[in-house]
Amino acid sequence: MKPATSSHSSISTAGDGRREAVILTAARLFRHNGYERTTVRELADAVGLQSGSLFHYFRTKEDILVAVMANGIQSVIDEGQEIMARHEQPAKRLERLFRLHMASLISGVGGDAMHAMIYEWRSLSPQGRAQVQELSTAYEKLWHRAIDDAVTCGLVQGDAAIIRKHVLGGMNFTVRWYQPGGRLSADEVIEQMLRAALPGLAQHLGI
């Protein structure tokens, strides 16, 4: 006979998987249809649930929107922390962070999350905004460290805070204009963005 903990673990894993499916599906629907125009029924149908069953995983529709934004930020926090731990050289850290952020926007969960943050921020309550801002601040701390070190080493020149805002702002804006299947491939877009945003780093790396 299996121990009770195994059964509970299976149930928890299944629930976590369904919750993740709701978040990812909601992110896609909010991006294509808008948060206000996406109904709970449409979202439930898209993930194969009854409308009321969504509230087994989330208390309100706003909680789903917060989860969409938070999921995108948390994914780059987790990978960003791994990059900082794995690489000691400031140039490699900054390059990897840049590529991670761009890849997340173009082909990961970050694109839908950032689209929601740009277009649906007004739909959040003060409490919801505070939750998302807390994660955003944690992520920006990784960039503080990476850019401060790059400035100290002479890889980039200027005020570190301004550089960080310029670089992150430019990358995040790609959700407004990037379309797959365009003149440049995703990898080429990332290369060109890196050269434009951080020319000193790109030159140092021979890009």
Domain with 69 in it: 61-205
> Across residues 75-103, what is the average pLDDT?
96
Whether 37 is covered by a domain: the verdict is no
Whether 182 is covered by a domain: the verdict is yes
- Tell me how many domains the chain contains: 1
Q: What string of H, E and C letters represents the secondary structure of 81-119?
A: HHHHHHCCCHHHHHHHHHHHHHHHHHHCHHHHHHHHHHH
Write the CATH number for 68. Answer: 1.10.357.10
Can you give the pTM of this predicted structure? 0.85
> Across residues 115-142, what is the average pLDDT?
94
> Across residues 112-129, what is the average pLDDT?
93
Whether 13 is covered by a domain: the verdict is no
Q: What is the pLDDT of residue 15?
A: 56
Please, what sign has the CA dihedral across residues 88, 90, 96, 97?
positive
Share of the chain above pLDDT 90, in %: 79
pLDDT digits (tens, 9 = 90+) for 144-182: 999 999 999 999 999 999 999 999 999 999 988 988 888
Instruction: Give yes or no for residue 104 having a pLDDT over 80.
Output: yes
Whether 177 is covered by a domain: the verdict is yes
Whether 22 is covered by a domain: the verdict is no
Whether 6 is covered by a domain: the verdict is no
pLDDT digits (tens, 9 = 90+) for 131-144: 999 999 999 999 99
Whether 69 is covered by a domain: the verdict is yes
Token reading at 19: 């919750």
Whether 120 is covered by a domain: the verdict is yes
